[in-house]
């Protein structure tokens, strides 16, 4: 309802269309920007302090820090190569197990299950993500490890000619990098599954229906439409999972003996990762502590690089444009 | 898609064409699958136990599964053709993959409950470990100090995370600053920050200088743990809230702005109330994550065996640290204490998760109720 009032002035003043900020608005903008920049600041400060504290270690070992396997502060030998090798091997094993499984699970959730089951499974993936790493480690250490040891034994006895399955005489089969990778793969599953599921859910229904209408079976539709469409998301999700697996700490620190070494015998007792090694040596001081900081810095840079690449791949691919990975 | 021409004898054998839905199974399909399963089991038993010595049940399972797949392929190919057979095989494998999600979870839960439940008594919730010796029975374990520590540290973490996370998410969604892109990238990067690095950072930046300078506030205590946990929880909460805020319809915002409300007013009175359930869910899931986080605490709150109700001074225990310390002990009597703690931890996580689902469900139920009305209107 408008009531026409007699205008006091024949020509109304021109309205300014630009946004005029009230005081509350200006405060709002300042506060939110401050919060956003605080995030940037925190990350920068983390990097700075790690570099600052890692200084002595780099000073002692120089570039040799990246090429030395042994990590022994007492004798002044600091090297991250053995730790880094273990970290990467465990993460790769984990990804190798987790990615095929999560592609299958994501396919089941998006294509094969129906209404109610779909909600239940999505909740299940969230629940898997909420279970602490500590409990996975505990379970792997006391339940899975002894159960897997006979399998490793069998693999060695029958396929020992293959370098990965070989072992030294009298070596134990518990606390191996293979078991650690298996447990870490369970921890990576939720993130890879949820990213891949989101990607699959975004497949254009028109293309799926077109494939089915042309007489394709469901597998034909998945193979020709969903997998090509979701390829970017699958790669990105796997790399995000890799980032998680690299930084996984407590489970690995419980499972592995944490002795830096480079070995291809993944089935036998041995192995170490950066994060697990740091956790096991949390009481260190002096040069050892500085070495730990340097190792932490290497891990930090490694994970950041992996995550960045993953985000870029996901957001550039056709399927992942709207996915919040 | 390749079309192959049917060979002459194939044409002769061909049944009359029937309408087939790719996703449905008929009773005959189910019967064939059951037959394959039974014969695969029997054949496995025959080969692995009568002809050979089986190396273990896992080998049996693998052989039986492979046999089942092979038989199913051959049978379906004979009944329905090559394409349908491939489809059936893939469906079976996909279902197996989905079971791969469920089985570890069930085993994990079962193991922790079986290991911890016999020794869990009320005593766990009423006293700490200072008066309990290593040779005392497992049922004498007390975890009150750990529970208090977890509660205090989580509450303090929330004090930091909720305002900062909410504001950052609002910054990402509701403002048009040019820093949005770098901040979003940084939040993404930070969510992949290994938690041990967060602990290491607090140790390097606050605790070492604090101890050297003799400042009581900056040494091993609950507050330092809180800082490390904040760094772990902040990106998770920010990103989830960001997603939730994005779901608020733009129409609501525009309506509010058109009525003359300022941007701050719009966020406070329109956007946040609309997104309330989603934000609550995000925060609860963040709590669940933080409550089980162990790695950063090793460097920051350090752990103790007696009660410390003051998070601002002195080492403090929390449930994950409690579990971690006891599980690493060599005596099995002492190790058992860790399993009791693990059971309590998993009960806490489950309670939080159920709460999050409950809060989240409210919204979906309301939406479900609204949807039929809308379709009814559209039909009219």
Q: In this structure, what are the phi and psi dihedrals at residue A17, rounded to the nearest 5 degrees? A: -85, -25
Q: Quick one: what percent of chain A has pLDDT higher than 90?
A: 6
Task: For residues B65 and B87, give the distance between their C-alpha atoms in angstroms, rounded to a whole number.
Answer: 17
Task: For residues B168 and B279, give the distance between their C-alpha atoms in angstroms, rounded to a whole number.
Answer: 13
Average pLDDT of the segment spanning A123-131: 85
pLDDT, greater one: A70 or B347: B347
Averaged pLDDT of chain A:
82
Who among B23, B242, B320 is closest to A132 (CB)?
B320
Can you give the CATH number for the domain in which A201 is found? 1.10.3720.10
Average pLDDT of the segment spanning B95-122: 87
pLDDT, greater one: B379 or B165: B165
Q: How far is B161 from chain A (nearest CA, A)?
A: 11
Average pLDDT of the segment spanning A68-75: 76
| In a domain? residue B54 | yes
Q: How far is B43 from chain A (nearest CA, A)?
A: 22
Q: Is B25 helix (H, G, I), strand (E, B) or coil?
A: coil
The range of the structural domain enclosing residue A104 comes to 83-278+290-317
Q: Which residues of B352-361 are buried (b: 16+ CB within 10 A; e: fewer)?
A: bbebbbebbe
Read off the pLDDT of residues B10-46 as tens digits, 9 standing for 90 and up.
455 556 666 666 566 778 888 888 888 899 889 988 8
| Gyration radius from chain A CA atoms | 27
> Which of A2-6, A89-93, B78-82 is the most confident on average?
A89-93
Residues B250 and B143 in one domain: yes
| Gyration radius from chain B CA atoms | 29
Which run of H or E residues covers position A285? none
Task: For residues A214 and A210, give the distance between their C-alpha atoms in angstroms, rounded to a whole number.
Answer: 6
Q: Quick one: what percent of chain B has pLDDT higher than 90?
A: 7
* Contact status, residue B81 vs residue A92, Cβ threshold 8 Å: no
From residue A129, how far is each of A83, A144, B242 by CA, in Å? 26, 19, 19
Residues B310 and B175 in one domain: yes
Domain end call among B52, B82, B115: B115
Q: Which of residues 316-345 of B touch A (CB under 8 A)?
A: 320, 323-324, 327-328, 338-339, 342, 345
Can you give the CATH number for the domain in which B281 is found? 1.10.3720.10
| Confidence grade of residue B261 (pLDDT, cut at 50, 70, 90) | confident
Q: Is A176 helix (H, G, I), strand (E, B) or coil?
A: strand
> Which two three-digit tokens encode residue B115?
């290991």
Q: What is the pLDDT of residue B18?
A: 66
Q: Do B295 and A250 touch (CB under 8 A)?
A: yes
Residues B304 and B262 in one domain: yes
Average pLDDT of the segment spanning B59-71: 88
> Which two three-digit tokens encode residue B334?
């002492």
Q: Do A43 and B190 touch (CB under 8 A)?
A: yes
Average pLDDT of the segment spanning B72-78: 89
Task: For residues A83 and A89, give the distance between their C-alpha atoms in angstroms, rounded to a whole number.
Answer: 10
Task: For residues B295 and A280, give the distance between their C-alpha atoms in angstroms, rounded to a whole number.
Answer: 10
| In a domain? residue A28 | no
Average pLDDT of the segment spanning A288-307: 86
Q: Is the pLDDT of residue A95 over 90?
A: yes
Q: Is A146 helix (H, G, I), strand (E, B) or coil?
A: helix
* Contact status, residue B138 vs residue B124, Cβ threshold 8 Å: no
Q: What is the pLDDT of residue A2?
A: 60
Q: What is the pLDDT of residue B19?
A: 67
Task: For residues B111 and B103, give the distance between their C-alpha atoms in angstroms, rounded to a whole number.
Answer: 12
Read off the pLDDT of residues A200-232 as tens digits, 9 standing for 90 and up.
888 888 988 899 888 888 888 998 888 888 888
From residue A280, how far is each of A121, B116, B263 by CA, in Å? 36, 25, 50
* Contact status, residue A131 vs residue B107, Cβ threshold 8 Å: no
| In a domain? residue A11 | no
Average pLDDT of the segment spanning B293-310: 84
Who among B90, B168, B294 is closest to A134 (CB)?
B294
| Confidence grade of residue A4 (pLDDT, cut at 50, 70, 90) | low
> Of B77, B196, B354, which to mutate for an interface test with A (greatest number of A Cβ within 10 Å)?
B196
The range of the structural domain enclosing residue B230 comes to 138-362
Nearest-10 Cα torsion for B6, B11, B16, B18? -20
* Contact status, residue B174 vs residue B333, Cβ threshold 8 Å: no
Who among A24, A50, A249 is closest to B201 (CB)?
A50
| In a domain? residue B378 | no
Q: What is the pLDDT of residue A321?
A: 54
Who among A36, A101, A221 is closest to B183 (CB)?
A36
Q: What is the pLDDT of residue A325?
A: 47
| In a domain? residue B3 | no
Average pLDDT of the segment spanning A272-296: 83
| In a domain? residue B15 | no
| In a domain? residue B374 | no
> Of A34, A42, A114, which to mutate for an interface test with B (greatest number of B Cβ within 10 Å)?
A42
Whole-model pTM: value is: 0.83
Q: CB distance from B111 to chain A under 8 Å?
A: yes
DSSP result, A25-41: HHHHHHHHHHHHHHHHH
| In a domain? residue A36 | no
| Confidence grade of residue B157 (pLDDT, cut at 50, 70, 90) | very high
> Which two three-digit tokens encode residue A55?
């200084």
Q: What is the pLDDT of residue B369?
A: 45
| In a domain? residue B305 | yes
Longest dimension (CA), chain A: 103
| In a domain? residue A186 | yes
Average pLDDT of the segment spanning A259-264: 79
Domains of chain A: total: 1
- Alpha helices per DSSP H over chain A: 23-61, 81-107, 115-130, 133-139, 145-159, 177-201, 205-213, 218-221, 227-229, 231-247, 250-255, 274-280, 286-316
Read off the pLDDT of residues B313-341 as tens digits, 9 standing for 90 and up.
888 888 998 898 888 888 888 888 888 88
Task: For residues B228 and B232, give the distance between their C-alpha atoms in angstroms, rounded to a whole number.
Answer: 7
Q: Do B105 and A124 touch (CB under 8 A)?
A: yes
Residues B111 and B150 in one domain: no
| Confidence grade of residue B101 (pLDDT, cut at 50, 70, 90) | confident
Neighbours of A224 (CB within 10 A): 17
Give me the interface pTM, i.e. the ipTM.
0.82
What is the SS3 assignment for A200-256?
Answer: HHCCCHHHHHHHHHCCCCHHHHHHHHHHHHCHHHHHHHHHHHHHHHHHCCHHHHHHC
| In a domain? residue B125 | no
Q: Is A38 exposed, middle or buried (0-12, 13-18, 19+ CB in 10 A)?
A: middle
Average pLDDT of the segment spanning B129-155: 84
Task: For residues A230 and A320, give the distance between their C-alpha atoms in angstroms, rounded to a whole number.
Answer: 8
Read off the pLDDT of residues B193-243 as tens digits, 9 standing for 90 and up.
888 888 888 888 888 888 888 777 788 888 888 999 998 888 889 988 988
Q: In this structure, what are the phi and psi dihedrals at residue B318, rounded to the nearest 5 degrees? A: -145, 165
Average pLDDT of the segment spanning B76-85: 85
| In a domain? residue B89 | yes
Average pLDDT of the segment spanning B124-132: 81
* Contact status, residue B302 vs residue B220, Cβ threshold 8 Å: yes
Q: Which residues contact A236 (CB under 8 A, 6 or more apart)?
A: A195, A310, A311, A313, A314, A317, A320, A325
pLDDT, greater one: A155 or A96: A96
| In a domain? residue A117 | yes
Q: What is the pLDDT of residue A6?
A: 62
Q: Is the pLDDT of residue B370 over 50?
A: no
Domains of chain B: total: 2
Read off the pLDDT of residues A18-69 as tens digits, 9 standing for 90 and up.
666 677 778 888 888 888 888 888 888 888 888 888 888 888 777 777 877 7
Q: What is the pLDDT of residue A11?
A: 67
pLDDT, greater one: A295 or A285: A295
Average pLDDT of the segment spanning A284-299: 83
Who among A132, A250, A282 is closest to B299 (CB)?
A282
């Amino acid at each position: 309802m408008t009531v026409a009032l007699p205008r006091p002035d024949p020509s109304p003043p021109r309205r300014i269309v630009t946004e005029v900020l009230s005081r509350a608005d200006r405060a709002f903008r300042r506060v939110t920007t401050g919060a956003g920049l605080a995030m940037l600041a925190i990350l920068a400060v983390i990097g700075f302090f790690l570099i600052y504290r890692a200084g002595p270690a780099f000073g002692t070992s120089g570039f040799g820090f990246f090429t030395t396997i042994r990590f022994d502060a007492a004798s002044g030998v600091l090297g991250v190569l053995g730790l880094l090798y273990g970290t990467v091997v465990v993460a790769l094993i984990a990804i190798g197990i987790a990615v095929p499984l999560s592609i299958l699970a994501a396919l089941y959730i998006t294509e094969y299950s129906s209404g109610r089951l779909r909600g239940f499974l999505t909740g299940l993936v969230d629940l898997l993500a909420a279970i602490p790493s500590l409990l996975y480690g505990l379970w792997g250490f006391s339940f899975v490890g002894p159960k897997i040891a006979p399998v490793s034994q069998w693999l060695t006895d029958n396929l020992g000619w293959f370098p990965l399955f070989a072992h030294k005489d009298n070596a134990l089969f518990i606390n191996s990098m293979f078991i650690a990778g298996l447990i870490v793969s369970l921890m990576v599953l939720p993130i890879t599954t949820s990213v891949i599921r989101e990607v699959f859910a975004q497949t254009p229904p028109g293309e799926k229906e077109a494939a089915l209408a042309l007489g394709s079976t469901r597998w034909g539709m998945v193979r020709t439409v969903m997998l090509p469409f979701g390829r970017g998301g699958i790669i990105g999700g796997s790399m995000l999972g890799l980032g998680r697996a690299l930084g996984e700490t407590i489970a690995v620190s419980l499972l592995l003996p944490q002795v830096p070494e480079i070995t291809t015998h993944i089935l036998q007792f041995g192995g170490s990762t950066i994060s697990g090694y740091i956790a096991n040596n949390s009481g260190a001081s002096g040069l050892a502590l500085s070495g730990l900081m340097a190792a932490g810095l290497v891990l930090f840079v490694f994970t950041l690089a992996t995550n960045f690449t993953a985000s870029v791949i996901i957001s550039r691919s056709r399927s992942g444009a709207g996915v919040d990975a | 898609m390749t079309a192959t021409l049917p060979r002459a004898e194939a044409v002769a054998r061909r049944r009359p064409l029937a309408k087939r839905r790719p996703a449905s199974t008929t009773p005959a399909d189910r019967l064939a699958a059951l037959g394959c399963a039974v014969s695969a089991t029997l054949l496995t038993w025959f080969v692995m136990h009568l002809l050979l010595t089986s190396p273990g049940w896992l080998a049996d399972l693998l052989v039986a599964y492979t046999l089942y797949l092979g038989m199913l392929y051959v049978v379906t190919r004979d009944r329905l053709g090559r394409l349908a057979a491939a489809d059936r095989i893939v469906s079976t494998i996909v279902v197996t993959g989905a079971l791969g999600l469920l089985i570890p979870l069930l085993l994990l839960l079962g193991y922790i409950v079986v290991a911890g439940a016999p020794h869990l008594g009320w005593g766990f919730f009423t006293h700490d470990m200072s008066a309990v010796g290593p040779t005392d029975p497992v049922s004498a374990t007390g975890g009150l100090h750990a529970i208090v520590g977890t509660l205090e540290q989580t509450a303090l973490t929330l004090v930091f995370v909720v305002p900062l996370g909410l504001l950052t998410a609002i910054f990402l969604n509701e403002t048009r600053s040019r820093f949005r892109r770098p901040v979003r990238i940084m939040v993404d990067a930070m969510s992949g920050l290994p938690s041990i690095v967060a602990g290491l950072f607090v140790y390097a930046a606050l605790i070492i200088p604090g101890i050297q300078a003799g400042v009581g506030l900056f040494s091993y205590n609950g507050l330092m743990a809180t800082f490390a946990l904040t760094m772990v929880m902040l990106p998770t909460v920010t990103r989830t809230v960001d997603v939730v805020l994005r779901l608020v319809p733009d129409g609501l915002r525009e309506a509010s702005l058109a009525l003359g409300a300022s941007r701050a007013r719009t966020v406070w009175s329109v956007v946040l109330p609309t997104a309330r359930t989603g934000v609550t869910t995000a925060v609860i899931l963040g709590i669940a994550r933080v409550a089980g986080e162990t790695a950063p605490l090793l460097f920051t709150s350090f752990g103790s065996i007696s009660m410390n109700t003051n998070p601002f001074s002195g080492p403090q225990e929390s449930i994950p640290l409690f579990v971690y310390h006891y599980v690493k002990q060599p005596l099995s009597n002492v190790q058992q204490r860790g399993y009791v703690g693990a059971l309590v931890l998993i009960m806490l996580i489950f309670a939080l998760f159920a709460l999050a689902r409950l809060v989240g469900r409210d919204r979906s139920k309301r939406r479900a109720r609204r949807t039929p009305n809308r379709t009814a209107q559209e039909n009219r």
